[in-house]
Structures are given as C-alpha cells and as structure tokens.
C-alpha cells in the first residue's frame, strides 16, 4: 500500500528528527547572557536593584532566606509587577532538616465577598482591578514569617534596601510606560493618583524614566515596622518574637486600620477581622519523582501540581529521541499539558476549605497512566476534559454532575480578543531565587498589586487584584468559588528539585497561566537535553492557550499555540496538519530565573532568561 503524502512526509521528518541530537542544528551554547557562577552565594530576581538588595544581605553575613526577604521587599517597592499588598508563595530547602517547606502567604476574600454579591453587581467574574479586586495583603506577613522562622537577620536589616528605594530611586522606562498607559484607571483612586502621576495635567503624567520615584507614605509604613521591632528587642524579646510583634502591628494595629478604612471608602469589603484572622501557613509541599529527581511544588491553592501531573504523564516517553522542539516533541508536551491543566481548571482550590481537593488521586501514577492513554498522537484534541481522580484514592467523586458537561469548547459569546487574552495569560509577576554555600535554597513567586493598583490610604501599600482568579459559578470549578476567608486558586508557582536528597535546582518564572508551561520546558531542557542552566533559561518555549485563563473572563483558546519565529517551516507545517493554529513571537523564554547546585564541584550556577529585566549577582 502506498503511503499518503502526509504520512510519507511524517516518516521522512521523523527520521530527520531522530538524527537531530547528532546534527549541528542549533548551537545551544550560544546564549545572550553569560551564566552566573558562584562559590558562596547567589541572588537572582526580576530587577537589578532588587538583586543588589539580596547581595547586600549576603555580604552582611545573612543566609539565603535573609537575602530572599530583602529581594522581596525591594521588588515590591520597585513595583516589579507587584506591590506590598500582594501575595507571596515560596519554597525553602532547609539544610538543617533536609526538608522542603512551603510558605502560603496568599490573601483571602474579605467579609461579604460571595458569588451572590458579585453576581448582584452584574459581574460574571470578580473585577480585574479596583477595591473589589483585592484580597487581604499577604506579602508583608509572608516576608516576616520567613525571616522569623528561617532567617538570621533583623527586620530592620532586611528592609533597609527597600526603605532606601522608597526614599527615591531612578524609575525604569518599563514601569514609567506602564503607569502612563494605565493613568486613566489610576486617576479613579486619589492615593494612587497622588503617588503614580506626579506630572498631572501635563501630556506625560507618569514619572519620567530616570526620574526619582519617591514613596514617602510607604517609607513611613516600613519605618513603623522597624521601630516596632526595635522597641520589642529593647524589652528583651528574641529576634523572632520582635519580628512577629511588627507583624501584629501590620495586621491588627494602625496600619491595618488605615488599609481597611481606605479600602471601604473606595467601595471595598475589608474588615479589621479579615486582616487579623488571616495567617501565613507553613506547609508540606507536594512532590513527584522524575527520573531520579524529586520535584517539589506548593499544593492545590496554586497551579503547581499541574507540573507534577505533566511530568508523571511524560516520564515514560522517550522525549530526547524526538529532538528538541520537533513537531512530535511539541505535540507530546501540548497534549500532556492539556490533560494536567484540564484537571487544574476543575479540581484545584483552597485546601483549607471543604471539600478537600483530590490531590492524592491527581498525583497517583496509576491515574497518570490511564490519562496517558487518552492522548491522540496524530492530532490535537481541542476538547480534553478533566478526569476522575477519586477512585485512585479510594473515594467517590461528589461532582460528577458538574464534570460530565464541562468543556473548554464554550459558547462564542465568552470569546475574547486576541490581545486581551494574551495579556491575561502572560500577566506578569516577578521571581526570586537565592542559595548559599550552606545549602539553603529559596524559590519565590510573589505577585499582586501590579499597575494599575489601588494605594491603601496613607500606607503606601498597593493592594492585590487576585480576587479575579475565583469563579462565581460552581460548574466551572466547585473548589474555587469565592467565599469570605478563602484563598483564590493562583497561578504563582515556585519550584525546588532535589537529587539524592540534596538541592539540585530552584527555579520560577514571571507570567500567569504560562508559568507551569515555561517551567516544564526549562526542566526538560536541563534534564532531558543536557542544556546548562543558562541555555535552558533562554531556550525557546511554546505556549498553549487550551487551558482556561485565571484572569479576566477565564477563557480558553483550544488548539492555539505560540512559537518563536526561528521554528522551521517543516515543523510549522506538521503542527498545522495536526490541527494547531499558530502565531509567532521573536522570544518566548519565560522570563525564567534559576539556580543550580553543582553537586560535583560544590559550586552554584545561575540562569536568567534574556526575555525581561531579570538579573543576578553571585560570589
């Protein structure tokens, strides 16, 4: 029987891709940025000035947690797609215990934030910005708990670089442009207008690039925390106790009262009880083993387990023989992600609220093996749906009625224009990695309070916009329906990987629903294709839109894929024959930040994507 033209072409291309590892097809060693090398410590984050803050802590004798907290404080002050009222998600490897711990500092929906409330206001989802978009501040508490529990320095020392930045720093063009573009929204809120638009009435009302951006109210707030700590230390309290006294002032004292007053004055729902009753959770993360490497993620209140599910699906596939970014390799990743993200969209939510998410079943090997059988290796399936993990943990699914009709092939009236969808999927944050010679490793993905943000009165604190990640209709995700005191399922997802029980990689990435996609490809680049950590950070990624956006109107675009322009025509043609429709960008590498522990030589390697302002310092 004579094969069809398409089949013959695939046969020939398959032979070509089998040969790719032996061909000088791509010079993977040619990176735009050099790798970082260090013997003693390494600090990487989204802004050069914030990386310098981490370096200062190391030079003063601090450990990786001290450095990470200083970088977090600096990044929020720099408004690197987040503000002080946002949320913090972290993983920490503690060499003293040999364990990875999770930090859950995501705020909660305030009193009165119910599905009925938002529906009565005419919302299909909670608003994208403004006072009703805010969950309670999480980053200040997360920073102080991490520093108190795992750091060695005082709050005053960790906040010193951020306080200097609040006095005034030369603003970058990227932030100045973002403020100018969103200035009409910012003008709705008096304290935001006063801070972000110093040239009101002029043609350009935002700060000019290079102009000193001053935040006197934020400086006063940070000063209050530092003075509170100093008073507690003077009374004989320990370092940890003194930091937590400052924590209490933020969440129960005068700072909390001003946050609540200003939020309610603008039409928000915050109460003093919402802030006082919130707490940081120190958690046990979830993990899976991929080819001898233990990969750790935060659990179902973020999308982290989706990476673990995808690795479980792919472990039995010979990815390397397919060839890096061949059509078959791209198809394999896309299909595995479809299965994992469909589960994310239906089953992930706040584990502190009933019903309990079926995380045991979702991460079971048996469940992944059965799900793997659903992959069509010839074409994209635009209607991949969530599975039923309950039998794999000995339970009965309580949501079968909602599960059966669930689909991403939804009516056209929820469609969104391409530009808005891209902005939602790629919605930025920052990432922080820190490591030291003693084995401490920290990975943080903080966010919330991006431009345009509501400034909370005279505190200088930019509030979160995370409320929009809830759903109002339980048929979309019965675990993630908004309720007072509940955390929305967020996209933010730090990662730590261990080899033989020792730190191997800590890595995270800016972005929204693209985060696990980028991190999956970074990890496979390093583990399957032997790239260095810098090569893996810069390497071309694909982006899928087949999962539901966690922002805005929560839409999906099944079958759509973003590729880099350098992808060859024959790969493009084969993907189109498989049912994908493609668009192209010049770079699509993250931006990823990563640290690798070189276990053979006892040194540190750092990788920073060439897609963004991410920056690292090492010694």
- pLDDT tens for residues 373-387? 999 999 999 999 999
pLDDT bracket for residue 81 (50, 70, 90): confident
Tokens of 166: 């609040």
Mean pLDDT of the chain: 92
DSSP assigned state of 309? H
Residue 212, helix vs strand vs coil: strand
pLDDT bracket for residue 14 (50, 70, 90): very low
**Does the bond joining 591 to the residue before it have cis omega, within 30 degrees of 0?**
yes
Task: Order the strands of the 286-290 sheet from edge to edge.
Answer: 36-38, 603-608, 592-598, 502-509, 495-499, 293-297, 286-290
pLDDT bracket for residue 18 (50, 70, 90): very low
590 pLDDT exceeds 60? yes
Tokens of 527: 């583990």
Q: Are 41 and 619 in contact (CB under 8 A)?
A: yes
pLDDT single digits (tens) 147-188: 999 999 999 999 999 999 999 999 999 999 999 999 999 999
**Does the bond joining 452 to the residue before it have cis omega, within 30 degrees of 0?**
yes
22 pLDDT exceeds 70? no
Tokens of 506: 């800590």
Give the bridge partners for 441, in sequence order. Answer: 93, 435
26 pLDDT exceeds 90? no
Q: CA geometry: angle at 469 spanning 468 and 474, to 5°?
A: 105
Q: Are 386 and 306 in contact (CB under 8 A)?
A: no
Q: What are the structural domains of the chain?
A: 1-132+279-619 (3.60.20.40)
Q: What is the mean pLDDT of residues 8-37?
A: 53
pLDDT bracket for residue 3 (50, 70, 90): very low
530 pLDDT exceeds 50? yes
Residue 380, helix vs strand vs coil: coil
Give the bridge partners for 471, in sequence order. Answer: 481
Helix axes 569-577, 5-19, angle to 10 degrees: 130
Helix axes 64-77, 139-150, angle to 10 degrees: 160
pLDDT single digits (tens) 302-312: 999 999 999 99
User: For residue 411, what pLDDT is reported?
Assistant: 60
Residue 315, helix vs strand vs coil: coil
Q: CA geometry: angle at 142 spanning 138 and 145, to 5°?
A: 140
Main-chain dihedrals φ then ψ at residue 82, nearest 5 degrees: -160, 160
Give the bridge partners for 87, in sequence order. Answer: 447
Q: How many CB atoms lie within 10 A of CB 261?
A: 16
Bridge pairing between strands 495-499 and 293-297: antiparallel
User: For residue 426, what pLDDT is reported?
Assistant: 55
Q: Are 595 and 506 in contact (CB under 8 A)?
A: yes
Bridge pairing between strands 560-564 and 581-585: parallel
Element (H or E) spanning 561, and its range?
A: strand 560-564
Q: What is the mean pLDDT of residues 45-63?
A: 96
Residue 37, helix vs strand vs coil: strand
418 pLDDT exceeds 90? no
Distance of alpha carbon 508 from alpha carbon 592, whole angstroms: 6
């Amino acid at each position: 029987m004579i094969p069809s033209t398409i089949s013959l072409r695939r046969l020939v291309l398959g032979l070509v891709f089998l040969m790719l590892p032996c061909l000088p097809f791509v010079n993977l060693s040619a990176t735009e940025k050099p790798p970082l090398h260090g013997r003693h410590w390494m600090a990487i984050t989204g802004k050069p000035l914030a990386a310098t803050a981490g370096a200062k802590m190391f030079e003063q004798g601090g450990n990786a947690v001290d450095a990470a907290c200083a970088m977090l404080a600096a990044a929020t002050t720099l408004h690197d797609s987040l503000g002080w009222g946002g949320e913090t998600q972290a993983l920490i490897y503690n060499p003293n215990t040999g364990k990875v711990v999770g930090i859950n500092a995501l705020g909660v929906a305030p009193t009165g934030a119910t599905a009925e409330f938002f529906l009565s206001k005419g919302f299909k989802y909670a608003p994208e910005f403004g006072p009703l978009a805010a969950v309670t501040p999480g980053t200040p508490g997360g920073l102080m708990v991490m520093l108190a529990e795992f750091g060695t320095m005082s709050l005053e020392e960790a906040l010193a670089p951020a306080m200097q930045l609040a006095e005034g720093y030369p603003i970058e063009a990227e932030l100045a442009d973002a403020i100018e573009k969103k200035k009409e929204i910012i003008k709705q809120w008096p304290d935001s207008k006063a801070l972000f638009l110093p040239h009101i009435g002029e043609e350009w009302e935002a700060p000019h690039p290079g102009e000193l951006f001053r935040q006197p109210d934020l400086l006063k707030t940070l000063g209050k925390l530092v003075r509170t700590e100093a008073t507690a230390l003077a009374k004989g309290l320990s370092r940890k106790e003194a930091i937590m006294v400052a924590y209490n002032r933020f969440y129960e004292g005068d700072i909390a009262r001003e946050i609540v007053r200003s939020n309610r004055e603008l039409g928000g729902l915050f109460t003093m009880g919402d802030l006082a009753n919130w707490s940081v959770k120190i958690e046990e993360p979830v993990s899976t083993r991929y080819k001898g490497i233990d990969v750790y993620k935060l659990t179902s209140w973020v999308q982290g387990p989706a990476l673990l599910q995808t690795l479980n699906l792919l472990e039995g596939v010979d990815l390397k023989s397919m060839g890096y970014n061949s059509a078959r390799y791209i198809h394999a990743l896309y299909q595995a992600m479809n299965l994992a993200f469909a589960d994310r969209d239906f089953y992930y939510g706040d584990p502190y609220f009933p019903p309990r998410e079926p995380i045991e079943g979702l991460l079971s090997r048996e469940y992944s093996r059965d799900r793997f059988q659903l992959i069509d290796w010839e074409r994209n399936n635009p209607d991949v749906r969530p599975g039923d993990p309950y039998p794999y943990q000995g339970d009965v699914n309580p949501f079968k009625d909602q599960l059966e009709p669930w689909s991403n092939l939804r009516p056209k009236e929820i469609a969104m224009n391409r530009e808005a969808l891209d902005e939602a999927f790629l919605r930025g944050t920052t990432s922080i990695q820190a490591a030291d010679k003693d084995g401490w490793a920290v990975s943080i993905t903080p966010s919330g309070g991006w431009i345009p943000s509501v400034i909370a009165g005279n505190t200088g604190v930019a509030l979160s916009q995370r409320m929009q990640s809830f759903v109002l209709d339980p048929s979309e995700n019965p675990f993630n329906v908004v309720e007072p005191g509940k955390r929305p399922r967020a996209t933010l997802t730090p990662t730590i990987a261990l080899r033989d029980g020792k730190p191997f990689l800590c890595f995270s990435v800016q972005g929204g629903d693209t985060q696990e996609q980028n991190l999956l490809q970074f990890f496979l680049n390093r583990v399957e294709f032997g790239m260095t950590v810098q090569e893996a950070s810069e390497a071309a990624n694909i982006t899928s839109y087949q999962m539901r956006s966690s922002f805005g109107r929560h839409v999906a675009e099944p079958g759509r894929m973003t590729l880099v322009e350098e992808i060859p025509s024959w790969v493009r043609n084969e993907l189109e024959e498989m049912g994908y429709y493609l668009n192209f960008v010049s770079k699509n590498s993250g931006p990823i930040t990563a640290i690798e522990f070189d276990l053979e030589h006892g040194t540190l390697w750092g990788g920073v994507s060439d897609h963004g302002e991410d920056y690292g310092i090492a010694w």
